[in-house]
Amino acid sequence: MSTQTARAIRFTHTAPQQAFRLLELTPEILELISSENAPTLYLKSPGTDNTTTTGPEDTGADNNNAYVNLCTPTKTFRIRQVQSSNSIHVIKPSDEKSEVVPLIAKKRRQSNDNSDINNDEMDIPESVTAIAKCASTLEIHALNHAESLAEAKRTLRRILPVYDTNTMRGKRVDDGDVEMAGVHDSNDNKRGITKDAIFDDLPFAKSQCQMAWFELCAFVPDDGGLAAFRPSARIKLELWRMVLEGCILQNIDLEKQFLVADLWKAALGEDNDENGKEETFFSKTLFDAVVRRLAEGNNADSELKWSNMDKKVCIQWIGETYLEATAPNERLAIGRSEFLNAWKDLLPETWRDEASLNSLPEYSYKYPDPVSICFIHEAERERVKRETKNASGNVANAKNSRNWHERFKNQRK
């Protein structure tokens, strides 16, 4: 403007420009990193080198690895790139020694006298230098706990190999023609992926990774290896049968406090206990993972010494696990009455009457026909939930469109 009286500022730019990414911090993150004991923050993305498992439980899962999350110890933030129509320049103020002094020397060489020359007399402008140009910024959005945990479980489910075996107590077990891609025997423990490596490749907060690990009953077999696994539904179901049989024989009430070591011995049976052997298809760490999953309080970090089972959690988990093991898809659907009777037979006597379809998680099952039922894997549940809501909305809209004349009739009265 013609009335502007401020001193001119010289604007220059460097070549080549530096690579900068601008990240817009939320007040929550800013407060966290400004605190006295600021935690370490991590930029995490899904790993690409790990061998992932694929199977019926992965149908509908999001396999897109092209994203990055910002993780605190307890929360996960999704990072999103936002393009801008305005150019954003990162500028750096001039250095007086490197910028102004050479200009003074140059002026002096051009002057015929030896008098002192100051900056004001020479009218040397201040300058700033653009060292980077950013066409986009990065925004962060907090993911709620339920959403983060669901995504962490889906990712962990794809990464972890399945722990299963075809030999249980000397009996051949039929897979029911279910394709179990990625199924491993315990002998594969030496060449699997370690827990630490898996957590490094999970783009979620450490506490959420631990909770996902806990809910999947993931474990590291106690055979000297370091590889991690997740048990198949069939393995978890067989383990629970052994625990239930041991409780009946040893008169252990699962709702009251018991020593976990006593429950372990009861599950092994008298023969194994007397001989000092643990001839079983599952390890102590798998047993601990299942007991921790079903224990009251659901504390993934608590020490397993004394415990008692959460009745509601147990009933739901057993019904869901049985349905996954026996009817994992529509082709293998089973009768509803058959399912309910088998579910009740897997519960302590005092819990039998509480086994009902209402006890199962929402959208965890569906009816292929009027008398059958089958399992819905977690990766599909969000899609089924959306489809159900859309169908309900369409029905309501259709009903309203047919009854528009009724509304006008009421207005005329």
Q: What is the pLDDT of residues 221-254, one digit of tens each?
A: 887 778 899 999 999 999 999 999 999 999 999 9
Q: Rounded distance, CA 399 to CA 263, Å?
A: 57
Across the range 65-71, mean pLDDT stands at 84
Residues 37 and 81 in one domain: yes
Kindly state whether residue 69 falls inside one of the protein's structural domains. no
Please write the tens of the pLDDT for every residue from 101-123.
444 344 444 555 555 545 444 45
Across the range 308-318, mean pLDDT stands at 94
Kindly state whether residue 334 falls inside one of the protein's structural domains. yes
Of the candidate ranges 175-189, 299-313, 392-406, the one whose mean pLDDT is the lowest: 175-189
Kindly state whether residue 389 falls inside one of the protein's structural domains. yes
Q: Out of 102, 124, 142, pick the residue that ends a domain.
A: 142
- Give the structural domain span for 137: 12-44+76-142
Kindly state whether residue 53 falls inside one of the protein's structural domains. no
Residues 305 and 386 in one domain: no
Across the range 290-313, mean pLDDT stands at 82
pLDDT score, position 171: 39
Kindly state whether residue 196 falls inside one of the protein's structural domains. yes
Across the range 186-197, mean pLDDT stands at 66
Q: Out of 142, 177, 192, pick the residue that ends a domain.
A: 142
Higher pLDDT, 262 or 391: 262
How many domains does the chain contain in total? 3
Q: Rounded distance, CA 206 to CA 75, Å?
A: 8
Of the candidate ranges 137-146, 171-180, 376-385, 389-398, the one whose mean pLDDT is the lowest: 171-180
